[in-house]
Amino acid sequence: MTSASTTHGVAVSAQSRMLQLALAGLLGLFIIGFVGFSHMEVVHNAGHDYRHSMAFPCH
């Protein structure tokens, strides 16, 4: 009796991986831009405090 083993992994092409990385980068830039240039005090102050807590220079 023979048995076949299967894997449940999904093959990801290089093009698909690059698209995922590009979209993640754009999302990150959008979030940073939104927080950094937000006119809402709560959002801006939260981002500002987070940058200070991570020792990121922002001044």
Domain ranges of the chain: 14-53
Q: Has residue 3 got a pLDDT over 60? A: no
Task: Give the 3-state secondary structure of residue 44.
Answer: helix
pLDDT at residue 55, rounded to an integer: 80
pLDDT at residue 24, rounded to an integer: 94
Instruction: Give the tens place of pLDDT for each residue, 9-56.
Output: 667 788 899 999 999 999 988 887 777 677 777 877 777 777 778 787
Which run of H or of E encompasses 29? helix 14-36
- The answer to whether 43 and 34 have CB atoms below 8 angstroms apart is yes
Per 3-state DSSP, what percentage of the chain is helix, strand, and coil (rounded to 5)?
Answer: 60, 0, 40
